[in-house]
Amino acid sequence: MNLKYQLDHLSIQDYLKGELHSTVKHEYIDGQVYAMAGASSSHNRIVANTLGELRFALKGTPCESFASDMKVRVEDNFFYPDVLVACHHKGNDYGVTDSPLIIVEVLSKATRKIDHTLKRIAYQRLASLQEYVVIEQEFADIEVCRRNRHWQSEHYFLGDEVWFESIDVRLPVAVIYERVENADVLAYIQALQEA
């Protein structure tokens, strides 16, 4: 979230209608609209890997994974998480859910602070949310915060499996970071090749 539009206040209805026709995604926070910045190759790979693995794991269940075009409504705010899982989702014209089970954000230097503060606090107010997952792209670290553990952080690293407890799915950290080129991933691959 980088650019703030200079508007005094935009109604929710006007925001939602505007997003239907906009070529740039915007988040809506306290009546203000913020343009979303582009993402790196590493960011896109992490999102694609996570989305694809969750999509495959959830086949035949009432739950499904969605990419960053699905908005999450938290009270009167709207966010675009990188990946989310929702169950029994009924489609709507605006691509909005207010009942995600899991939210995944991939961190960048530009989004780290807001993902760890404003968004985390907002998301935890959603009664449906069971897991908030934050994935670093500059190094290999996946943080999972679970409602049933009072939102305490658990970290997963290369060689571990991340447990998405609410849907009982385990994904190897190495699969989530597949094709990502950061120092941790490259060292892990080299260690595997030398073993």
pLDDT (tens place) for every residue of the chain, 195 residues total? 444 444 457 899 999 999 998 888 999 998 889 888 778 999 999 999 999 999 999 999 999 999 988 999 999 999 999 999 999 988 777 899 999 999 999 998 888 888 889 999 999 999 999 999 999 999 999 999 999 999 999 999 999 999 999 999 999 999 999 999 999 999 999 999 997
Structure tokens at 2: 């980088």
Q: pLDDT value at position 6?
A: 46
Write b or e for each residue in 130-163: b if 16 or more Cβ atoms lie within 10 A of its Cβ, otherwise e.
bbbbbbbbeebbbbbbbbeeeeeeeebebebebb
Q: pLDDT value at position 126?
A: 97
Q: pLDDT value at position 36?
A: 86
Q: Residue 85: beta bridge partners?
A: 65, 102
Angle at 96 between CA 133 and CA 38, to 5 degrees: 60
Q: pLDDT value at position 2?
A: 43
| Closest C-alpha among 107, 106, 90, 110 to residue 98 | 90
**Cα-based distances in Å from 193 to 139, 186, 189:** 20, 11, 6
Q: What is the pTM of this model?
A: 0.91
Q: pLDDT value at position 108?
A: 86
Q: pLDDT value at position 8?
A: 58
Q: Which domains does the chain have, with CATH numbers?
A: 39-194 (3.90.1570.10)
- CB of 89 within 8 A of CB of 64? yes
**Cα-based distances in Å from 94 to 13, 78, 126, 138, 158:** 10, 11, 19, 33, 37
